[in-house]
A and B are shown apart, each in its own frame.
Chain A
């Protein structure tokens, strides 16, 4: 199994509070991604990183920011959580970008009340 750890695995928070999800990898892969999974939508890309301090937006990036100060860590921040951000968030890593398979973490379930 790819060494990917997400934390926290579960979080309940209130509207308007900031939330940070952490993804940690031990594979030294260059590419890291944050997806959200919602019923009827599959997985949608929020942000991704192609190296330390190099990040780019995905298709559903509004309301989210990311940071990658080390190869192994990729943080997803919701500056002011809204109920529409209730979802399951998956981190993924890849050594080859979008030309090869992605390895996913176990997910972080976020509930915004």
Chain B
């Protein structure tokens, strides 16, 4: 049973609009969350993280929101750019233990 779920395998958004990528988790012990971006034939690159003591973290065009009661986090990209087209992975860890990754969401930003 997957502890970290990304229920949308793919998402298409128009350039300039907002992209919202969702992630749900089942383990209430998770206390640290990260988002990674991956281009084809490259390794994942770190995007943004959030600790469970916060409900929002912002870095330029990227904002992550955490709703602990719903066990849900989301990544907002505003405005979306064609270069944002990639696969996005959500990851979570509990008490400094192994990161558990979601299956990924493929984002396509259309010009």
17 contacts across the A-B interface (CB closer than 8 A): A4-B43, A40-B103, A41-B103, A42-B89, A42-B101, A45-B99, A90-B44, A98-B96, A98-B97, A99-B96, A101-B46, A102-B46, A103-B46, A104-B36, A105-B43, A106-B42, A106-B43
Residue of B nearest to A106 (CB): B43
A residues 63-113 touching B (CB-CB < 8 Å): 90, 92, 97-99, 101-107
* Total contacting residues, chain B, CB less than 8 A: 22
Residue A30 is within 8 A (CB to CB) of chain B in the complex: no
Extra inter-chain contacts (10) besides given A97-B96, A102-B99, CB under 8 Å: A39-B103, A40-B103, A42-B104, A48-B98, A90-B43, A98-B32, A98-B97, A101-B46, A104-B43, A107-B43
**B-binding residues in A (CB < 8 A):** 4, 39-45, 48, 58-59, 90, 92, 97-99, 101-107
**A-binding residues in B (CB < 8 A):** 4, 32, 34, 36, 41-46, 49, 89, 91, 93, 96-99, 101-104
Q: Is the CB of A43 within 8 A of B89?
A: yes
Q: Please measure, in the bound complex, the distance between the C-alpha atom of A99 and the C-alpha atom of B52, giving whole angstroms.
A: 12
Residue of A nearest to B47 (CB): A101
Q: How far is the CB of B23 from chain A (nearest CB, A)?
A: 11
Q: How far is the CB of A34 from chain B (nearest CB, A)?
A: 12
Q: Is the CB of B49 within 8 A of A101?
A: yes
Note all chain B residues with C-beta closer than 8 A to A92.
43
Q: Is the CB of B41 within 8 A of A107?
A: yes
- Residue of B32, B36, B89, B98 touching A58 (CB-CB under 8 A): B98
A40-B103, A41-B103, A42-B104 as given contacts; A59 in contact with B98, CB under 8 Å: yes
